[in-house]
Amino acid sequence: MPSDPEIKQSVLDTAKAMVECGLVEGTAGNVSARLPGGRVVLTPSSLDYDSMTLEDLVVTDAEGKVLEGDRPPTTEKALHLACLRQYEDIGAVMHCHALFASMFAVNHEPIPCVIEEFDIYVGGEVPVAEYRLTGSDELAGEASRWLGDRAAVLMANHGLLCVGKDSGHTLKIAQLVERTAQLVWGARMMGEPVPLPESTLEKFAPIYKVVGRLR
């Protein structure tokens, strides 16, 4: 299992990569990862990713009590902790405001599973969790409940939440979801996208639990 410094470095690298990939702007979005001993490392609240260092990251226990760090953890702390508490087979969580995925979230419309890799790496279509206030325990409970058999969920009128084996994995999931959202948006400009056959969905969906969730 990776060491504390390795996991923290991955969280920091992933947070910075979110900006470079255009998944967030400013200080929006947040990243967390599971540490040994029931602890969690999270990005801090309201700090530019460009200037963020390892010392700025915050470590809490599973209930959110700060154990390390001088800054407050992300305001979406409850969201991250709910996912990690509920699913022992995930190691990291990312919340971002990817443009095309967020368009679907604003429309309260799932992102359909129209390409095979989406079924394999995400687990099927990305559903929309009902709207709850940002940073609330209600949002944490509502969003996390959708992630038992898939890697991503849209939060209505908000953005995208992804889970994975580690922080780098959540970044790849977010990029795949965003690319697929853009693909579907473009395909609809051309006509009506054709969904994958049910037989394909049934064949590939179980693979997600092997490639996407086992740490």
CATH number where 61 lies: 3.40.225.10
Q: Beta-carbon neighbour count of residue 164 at 10 Å? A: 25
Q: How confident is the model at residue 65 (pLDDT cuts 50, 70, 90)?
A: very high
Structural Rg of the chain based on CA atoms = 16
> In this model, does residue 213 exceed pLDDT 80?
no
* Number of domain units in the chain: 1
Parent domain of 67: 4-211
Q: How confident is the model at residue 214 (pLDDT cuts 50, 70, 90)?
A: low
> In this model, does residue 1 exceed pLDDT 90?
no
> In this model, does residue 85 exceed pLDDT 70?
yes
Lowest-confidence segment of 13-22, 70-79, 200-209 by average pLDDT: 200-209
Q: Beta-carbon neighbour count of residue 107 at 10 Å? A: 12
- Looking at residue 26, what is its pLDDT? 86
Quick one: average pLDDT of 114-121?
93
Round the average pLDDT of the chain to a whole number and report it: 95
Regarding pTM above 0.85, the answer is: yes
Which residues, in sequence order, are CB contacts of 155 under 8 Å at separation 6+?
95, 105, 128, 129, 131, 132, 139, 143, 161
> Residue 95: which of 8, 159, 169, 26 has the closest Cα?
159
- Looking at residue 19, what is its pLDDT? 95
